[in-house]
């Protein structure tokens, strides 16, 4: 009996690795001789570095500039010449208390510093997992950290932050880190918004970062000025590309100046974890996330795992903290079963607090419901 366990984190409760371990413990209670392989996953957002580390990447930590310039210790991961960088670790909204969030001043500089750290460690393929960003600067801070210069009408450097981009008159890319020429940048993002306009970075995501209606208009106009200058310097028209508006426009900076390619986050992560290879010969795969809902169906980790399992001809079971999908919906999504900790817990608090215990019991249930458990077990 061979079982692969490839869940995402249960946000606010357990990491992906802890979820996988809890389910594995329950399966081993019922099937002590089973071969169980843990393959924690993520969808390209928060938790991507943890998933990489749990699948054999080495964890590194670099001191970089936080969203407002204060130093932060940001983790990233590397295996061979492949690095995984999580923007949220360096330039994330969660790094700032709500009272300190400043949509006009926040910068992506720390993300660029992480890229530089990866290049210094020999990385030649860099997965840039974006999401949860505090900034709306079009990736200007990221590019500045990598050697680009943003100049005003007097030839002076423009300060960090999206609010200052309106004064950019020229972008000088001649100082970009030369190691970038030999590196492949993969933008891992499910966001398909363009940079500007009604569906752009400032108007759609700015309010989540503390931008007032006036700030949103200022940021959108400033991003347009920056886009003119960066596209003139790079020769790449990227503002209308799908994903340009990701992470406050970091997608635009990466696509326009770093030659990045954009791919669905979960697809990138499942490649990094080599899930397709690991499913060969498996009898069952278990996946899941904290809340299995309509958003999940848009391409989150469980759906990515279910697609990979379907290709391999392996049955897949979902575990979750709660599900907002009815049975018809989750079966249509490709799951043979869906088991939630909320169905076992006395209340929501227990479902979250005691998730590991409930998941262990769910592991035993999976063995009983989907695997041939002999009487001696």
Rounded CA-CA distance 12/294 in Å is 19
Element at 321 (helix H, strand E)? strand 316-323
| Total domains present in the chain | 2
Phi-psi region of 138 (alpha: psi -120 to 50; beta: other; left: phi over 0): left
Q: Which of 221, 241, 265 is the last residue of a domain?
A: 265
Looking at the fold, whether 211 and 306 belong to one and the same domain comes out as no
Tokens 């791919």 belong to which residue? 263
What is the DSSP code (8-state) at residue 94? Answer: G
Taking residues 95-124, what's their average pLDDT? Answer: 96
Looking at the fold, whether 34 and 52 belong to one and the same domain comes out as no
Specify if 375 maps to a domain. no
pLDDT digits (tens, 9 = 90+) for 271-317: 999 999 999 999 999 999 999 999 888 889 999 999 999 999 999 99
Q: Given a cut of 60, is residue 222 above it in pLDDT?
A: yes
The residues, any chain, with a CB within 8 Å of residue 159's CB and separated by 6 or more, are: none
User: CA 164, 165, 168 angle in degrees (round to 5)?
Assistant: 115
Rounded CA-CA distance 74/107 in Å is 15
Q: DSSP readout, 251-284?
A: HHHHHHHS--EEE-HHHHHHHHTTHHHHTTT-SE
Taking residues 124-153, what's their average pLDDT? Answer: 96
Task: Name the residue range of residue 95's domain.
Answer: 48-265
pLDDT digits (tens, 9 = 90+) for 334-376: 999 999 999 999 999 999 999 999 999 999 999 999 986 544 3
Q: Which of 265, 296, 331 is the last residue of a domain?
A: 265
- pLDDT band at residue 190, thresholds of 50, 70 and 90? confident
- Provide the pLDDT for residue 375: 41
What pTM did the predictor assign? 0.90
Looking at the fold, whether 75 and 144 belong to one and the same domain comes out as yes
CATH number of the domain within which 299 lies: 3.40.50.10350
């Amino acid at each position: 009996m061979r079982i692969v366990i490839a869940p995402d984190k249960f946000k606010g409760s357990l990491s992906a690795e802890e979820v996988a371990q809890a389910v594995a413990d329950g399966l081993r209670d019922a099937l002590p001789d089973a071969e169980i392989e843990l393959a924690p996953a993520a969808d390209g957002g928060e938790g991507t570095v943890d998933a990489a580390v749990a699948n054999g990447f080495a964890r590194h930590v670099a001191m970089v500039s936080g969203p407002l310039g204060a130093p932060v210790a940001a983790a990233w991961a590397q295996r061979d010449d492949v690095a995984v960088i999580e923007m949220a670790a360096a330039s994330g909204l969660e790094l700032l208390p709500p009272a300190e969030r400043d949509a006009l001043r926040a910068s992506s500089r720390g993300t660029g510093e992480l890229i530089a750290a990866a290049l210094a460690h020999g990385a030649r393929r860099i997965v840039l997992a974006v999401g949860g960003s505090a900034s709306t600067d079009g990736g200007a801070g990221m590019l500045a950290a990598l050697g680009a210069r943003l100049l005003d009408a007097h030839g002076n450097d423009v300060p960090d932050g999206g609010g200052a981009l309106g004064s950019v008159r020229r972008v000088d890319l001649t100082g970009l880190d030369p190691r970038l020429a030999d590196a492949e940048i993969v933008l891992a993002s499910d966001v398909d918004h363009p940079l500007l306009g009604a569906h752009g970075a400032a108007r759609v995501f700015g309010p989540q970062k503390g931008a007032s209606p006036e700030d949103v208009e200022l940021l959108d106009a400033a991003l347009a000025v920056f886009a003119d200058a960066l596209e003139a310097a790079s020769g790449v028209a990227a503002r209308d590309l799908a994903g340009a508006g990701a992470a406050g426009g970091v997608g635009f900076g990466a696509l326009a100046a770093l030659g990045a390619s954009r791919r669905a986050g979960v697809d990138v992560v499942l490649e990094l974890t080599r899930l397709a290879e690991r499913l060969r010969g498996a009898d069952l795969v278990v996946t899941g996330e904290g809340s299995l809902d309509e958003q999940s169906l848009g391409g989150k980790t469980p759906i990515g795992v279910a697609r990979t399992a379907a290709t391999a001809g392996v049955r897949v079971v979902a575990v979750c903290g709660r599900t907002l999908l009815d049975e018809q919906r989750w079966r249509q999504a490709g799951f043979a079963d869906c088991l939630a900790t909320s169905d076992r817990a006395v209340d929501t608090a227990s479902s979250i607090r005691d998730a590991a215990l409930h998941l262990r019991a769910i592991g035993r249930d999976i063995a009983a419901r989907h695997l041939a458990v002999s009487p001696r077990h």
